[in-house]
Structure 1
Amino acid sequence: MEETTSNSIIQNSNQMLLTRNTLQTITADLVNKPTAASYLYPEKILQFGTGVLLRGLPDYFVHKANQQNLFQGRIVVIKSTSAGATDAFTQQDNLYTLAIKGLEEGKEISSYEINNSISRVLTANQQWKEILKSVENPTLEIVFSNTTEVGIVMSNDLIDDNPPASFPGKLLALLYHRFVHFNGDKDKGLTIVPTELISDNGSKLKKIIFDLALHNKLSTDFQEWLASANDFCNTLVDRIVPGALSPADYTNTTALLGYEDQLMIMAEPFRLWAIETTSERVKQRLSFAAADSNVLLVPAIEKYKEIKLRLLNGTHTLSCAIALLAGFKTVKEAMQNSAFNQFVRLLMNDEIGPSILSHTISATDINNFSSKVIDRFANPHLAHKWEAIALNYSSKMAMRNIPLLEKWYSKTTEAPALFALGFAAYLYFLKSDKTNGQYTRTINGHPIELQDDSAAFVFDAWQAPEHTVVKVLSNADLWGKDLTKYPNFKEAVAQKLELIMHDGAINALKTLEYEK
């Protein structure tokens, strides 16, 4: 997703704008300014996208390494879409402030970093020749991308298009131009590190690039160079980067720092970038990893995907309906309730964690990540709405949580009580009203339009309440298996559902036996 962050309030301010010239006049001790040497580093990275995730995670790591004199390289950015302008980057000499706000080990932190990792921002539709010229740079070694999950798709692009329409089309054209310019030099290939939030992002991008090379009838010499001189890495990124500060927070922050910044963005303290590689060539090129222990160059990223999917995403899903039924609007609001907070902690520690414990995922891995999830959920600077988490609720439950049941029951025959409560709350949340084909759940007078492919099925299941639990649990088409086959699970869900319906969500949480 490409976007620039702009604040209309800037137009009414008398404060100076962040630029390289005004940088020296910024005296606030709260903000870290880039070193003079870091402006002199050559361009080593070609980046597709100007969006906040890229600026808040990969570009953050590059900047951090540059300030430690480790990586010594800057980024030339390609803006691929016509949406948004590059004026702010031009006006600010590509400088932007990253405000890091949140909790670490329960303590609130705030820090501000002026990032100068970006050297240029070029627009593909207007500056394609200059972009082609940029890959003639012998110091170029790496490609970053974040074009959303719809960016890594096959197309019919031709490399002679000006420019090719798709991201893979553009990347292939640039790789081919580099191949021709350096006469197939095997040392001039690139390491491609996508950050799109799809599984096996590097492998999928690689296949598309090779298919496009065939579609363009490119030489076998190029295809051999593509395979041997270039590396495509699967990655996992994890950091919440909401983007622009709220108007009130922006006003307070600029007053505190003493300058305006049209590109200022916020990120949570937590950060993780797991990059799958066994190549020494890749490790040498990605030397910025040495600046932060949260950049992981590992032989396989499956462990980190599993931990994130189950402990972060899975906990969100299993606690979402309880929070909504209790009347909470945001995650941070719910975490301020002691009963809900305790439920989340025990859900991870007593059920999800033990389920995923394996020869590759240790108890230390689980405990460390779980404690960070608590900080992330409780972050007072994030307003993550439960209604947004509830979108496509059934498919999220099927993907994130149902596989945990198999893992749980492989270790015990006792029904997971906390999981059962979360599932019962999901069932009750989807007890909706139907009007003109739209399913709506009303809580405390507030209507929530359900956007769930299974809303109609669950609605029908509620027409005979005495059979609702069994009908939903036994739907193998929805869950991939008949969940009534798990010992005592349907009884546990039915009991928790009755408890929620009779006593309410918060009281149901309070009746849980927390000490085992």
Structure 2
Amino acid sequence: MIDVKPINLSNKTIGDINAPGVITPSINYLNLPVKVLQFGTGVLLRGLTDHIIDKANKAGIFNGRIAVVKSTSTGGTDAFAEQNNLYTLQMKGIENKQLTEETVINTAIARVLSAADEWNLVLKEAENPELKVVISNTTEVGLQLVEENIDQQPPSSFPAKLLAVLNHRYKSLNGSAESGLVIIPTELLPDNAIILKSIIKKLIAFNGLSADFEKWLDESNYFCNSLVDRIVTGKPSLEEQKQFEQKNGYHDALLIVSEPYCLWAIEGDDKVKEILSFEQADPGAVVIPDIEVHRELKLRLLNGTHTLSCALALCMGFDLVNTATNNAQFSAFLEDLMKEIYEAMPYKPEAKLAAEFSERVLDRFRNPFIQHQWVAIAQQYTTKIITRVLPVLKEHYRLFNNAPENIARGLAAYMFLMSKVVKDNKEYYLTYKNERHLLKDDKIGILVEKWAVNPASVMASEILGAKEIWGEDLSQLPGLAHSVQNKLNDIVKNAQPHKQKEN
């Protein structure tokens, strides 16, 4: 058998790629104008927001490409340049309980500019009258105030870079109302656009910019809170890359992999919705006046379920999320848990939306292509319970005034898991299947101390009653300590043979 060297992905070779299942452009993408300025080259943006824009372009809806600003000093823009900014996204996983796979060559990015070396070209993008949107994902650390001069080449912080771009656009296009932009930060912070705009306002004052510019910023631009959710695992392994090339006949140095599920919820009015026409291309993209419902669904039914099922999965001997979810007993627990959480969500969505979301959560948990380890999810376990679970627990008591069965089971498993933690020097380690895993948890010292001086038969009251952990005495909630203790007793009893065998 003769090995055929795969072709390299580029504008010149894209027409030669005809592998079954690979979606290639059906449009002349080179003729589309730049309508989006994007700060960040990370896989989340390429696997989610840029995918939706590309999908819209292929459907003839948005008809605009992206100029990307690379702000970090690591890596370079060479890989993008060599492939004419083309890259492949593979979406693999479970949808509607069925295994699915889709491979798309993304043509949305027109150019990638280095902020450090090509800041003048970044500012040139601001002069483009067809520019409509700014997207960012500079990590949560990127949304910080750094008091600095925006005339630097370039400014160091993302907000200062953005202000420099906006100020240059204002001057270049004479502050016209139609030159305003829709600005969508996707950093994983609540009210991310509100935070960004407040920083911009402080930088306007620090830089002594005009009142007319600030008026244009307020009246002609839209700062839109947003929420993104998609697991993008990024660059595949060398073996996976080789298999991809053998199957499809081309090499892509920028190949990335994601799950099928995606969410890009953007807070905006009808005018914003009109500008962001790419929303029409994918059901995962939504522009609505209030995105809190999507935040609550993610925080409670996805993150809260992860948190409350993590310790139980480890107690049952499961290493990975997908293997646990494919177990009938564990899957039944997840379904019952999500129903219980839904009934007590502080911000309650309609039942149909919650049911659909819950089904997608189970699909995502079952994804065989994502090796998500439970021990990784156990990091900062106590903080996750405080932020994700306690509001639901309190609302359950307000509505029903009794102990929630499945939440109590999750809390009992969490307590048992903490009994397997030991301190070594200044670090704490979870022992699981005879292996030690470094565990980070701000309250771990208190939990370890309680297990050291108390028998398992009183641990529910001891831990739930610890104000230094929860900020309040949770043992006062009627029946909670009793329910958690009974479930903890069962877990301890069932774990005894395994414990004796280890000794």
The reply to whether TM is greater than 0.5 is yes
Alignment gaps of 5+ in structure 2: 499-503
Q: Of 177, 181, 187, which residue of structure 2 is paired with 1:190? A: 181
Q: Which amino acid aligns with 2:359?
A: S
2:416 pairs with 1:428: yes
Give the match for residue 433 of structure 2. 444
* Residue 489 (structure 1) shift: 0.6
Superposed CA RMSD in Å reads: 1.7
Q: Of 415, 418, 424, which residue of structure 1 is paired with 2:406? A: 418
How do 1:244-263 residues align onto structure 2 when only pairs under 5 Å count?
A: 244-263=235-254
**Residues 214 and 495 of structure 1, relative CA distance in 2, 3 Å threshold:** same
**Residues 146 and 241 of structure 1, relative CA distance in 2, 3 Å threshold:** same
* Residue 477 (structure 1) shift: 4.1
Q: 8 Å contact 1:157–1:212 — kept in the other structure? A: yes
Question: In the TM superposition, what whole-angstrom CA distance separates every residue of 1:402-427 from its partner, at most 9, and x where no partner exists?
Answer: 11111111222331121111111111
What is the distance in 2 between the residues matched to 1:98 and 1:435? 43
Q: 8 Å contact 2:346–2:391 — kept in the other structure? A: no
Q: Which amino acid aligns with 2:382?
A: S
Question: In the TM superposition, what whole-angstrom CA distance separates every residue of 1:470-501 from its partner, at most 9, and x where no partner exists?
Answer: 12112234324321122111001111111111
Q: 8 Å contact 1:323–1:334 — kept in the other structure? A: yes
2:471 pairs with 1:483: no
Give the match for residue 166 of structure 1. 157
Question: In the TM superposition, what whole-angstrom CA distance separates every residue of 1:268-312 from its partner, at most 9, and x where no partner exists?
Answer: 11111111112x331221011111122111111111111110000
Q: 8 Å contact 1:357–1:363 — kept in the other structure? A: no
Give the match for residue 50 of structure 2. 59
Q: Of 293, 296, 306, which residue of structure 1 is paired with 2:283? A: 293
SS in 1 for 2:41: coil
Q: Percent identity?
A: 43
* Residue 13 (structure 1) shift: 8.5
2:233 pairs with 1:242: yes
Q: Which amino acid aligns with 2:47?
A: G
Q: Which amino acid aligns with 2:478?
A: P
SS in 2 for 1:158: coil
How do 1:262-341 residues align onto structure 2 when only pairs under 5 Å count?
A: 262-278=253-269, 280-341=270-331
* Residue 253 (structure 1) shift: 1.8
Q: Which amino acid aligns with 2:262?
A: R
Give the match for residue 384 of structure 2. 396
**Residues 505 and 46 of structure 1, relative CA distance in 2, 3 Å threshold:** farther
2:142 pairs with 1:154: no
SS in 2 for 1:75: strand
How do 1:104-183 residues align onto structure 2 when only pairs under 5 Å count?
A: 104-183=95-174
Count residues with an aligned counterpart.
Answer: 493
What is the distance in 1 between the residues matched to 2:56 and 2:360? 24
Q: 8 Å contact 2:86–2:107 — kept in the other structure? A: yes
Q: Which amino acid aligns with 2:469?
A: L
Q: Which amino acid aligns with 1:281?
A: K
Q: 8 Å contact 1:339–1:506 — kept in the other structure? A: no
SS in 2 for 1:24: helix
Q: Which amino acid aligns with 1:290?
A: Q
Q: 8 Å contact 2:446–2:469 — kept in the other structure? A: no
Q: Of 341, 350, 356, which residue of structure 2 is paired with 1:362? A: 350
What is the distance in 1 between the residues matched to 2:390 and 2:431? 26
Q: 8 Å contact 1:182–1:188 — kept in the other structure? A: yes
What is the distance in 2 between the residues matched to 1:156 and 1:403? 37
Question: In the TM superposition, what whole-angstrom CA distance separates every residue of 1:155-207 from its partner, at most 9, and x where no partner exists?
Answer: 01211111000000100001000111112112101110011011100100010
Of residues 240-249 and 110-119 in structure 1, the stretch that sits farther from structure 2 once superposed is 240-249
Q: 8 Å contact 1:202–1:232 — kept in the other structure? A: yes
Give the match for residue 409 of structure 1. 397
* Residue 229 (structure 1) shift: 1.1
SS in 1 for 2:368: coil
What is the distance in 1 between the residues matched to 2:306 and 2:256? 24
Question: In the TM superposition, what whole-angstrom CA distance separates every residue of 1:255-277 from its partner, at most 9, and x where no partner exists?
Answer: 11110100111111111111111
* Residue 214 (structure 1) shift: 0.5
**Residues 328 and 126 of structure 1, relative CA distance in 2, 3 Å threshold:** same
Give the match for residue 66 of structure 2. 75
Give the match for residue 7 of structure 1. none
Q: 8 Å contact 1:340–1:506 — kept in the other structure? A: no
Give the match for residue 9 of structure 1. none
What is the distance in 2 between the residues matched to 1:251 and 1:193? 36
What is the distance in 1 between the residues matched to 2:467 and 2:322? 35
TM-score by length of 1: 0.93
Q: 8 Å contact 1:46–1:75 — kept in the other structure? A: yes
SS in 1 for 2:352: helix
SS in 2 for 1:14: coil
Give the match for residue 5 of structure 1. none
Q: 8 Å contact 1:326–1:504 — kept in the other structure? A: no
What is the distance in 2 between the residues matched to 1:395 and 1:370? 23
What is the distance in 1 between the residues matched to 2:114 and 2:410? 47
What is the distance in 2 between the residues matched to 1:478 and 1:199? 24
What is the distance in 1 between the residues matched to 2:253 and 2:241? 10
What is the distance in 2 between the residues matched to 1:38 and 1:185? 29
* Residue 505 (structure 1) shift: 11
Q: Which amino acid aligns with 1:430?
A: M
* Residue 435 (structure 1) shift: 2.2
2:334 pairs with 1:344: yes
Give the match for residue 88 of structure 2. 97
Structure 1 runs (4+) deviating above 4 angstroms are: none
Q: Which amino acid aligns with 1:157?
A: E
Q: Of 184, 200, 206, which residue of structure 1 is paired with 2:191? A: 200
What is the distance in 1 between the residues matched to 2:331 and 2:240? 26
Of residues 174-183 and 468-477 in structure 1, the stretch that sits farther from structure 2 once superposed is 468-477
* Residue 506 (structure 1) shift: 13
Q: 8 Å contact 1:325–1:443 — kept in the other structure? A: no
Q: 8 Å contact 1:145–1:194 — kept in the other structure? A: yes
SS in 2 for 1:138: coil
Of residues 43-52 and 360-369 in structure 1, the stretch that sits farther from structure 2 once superposed is 360-369
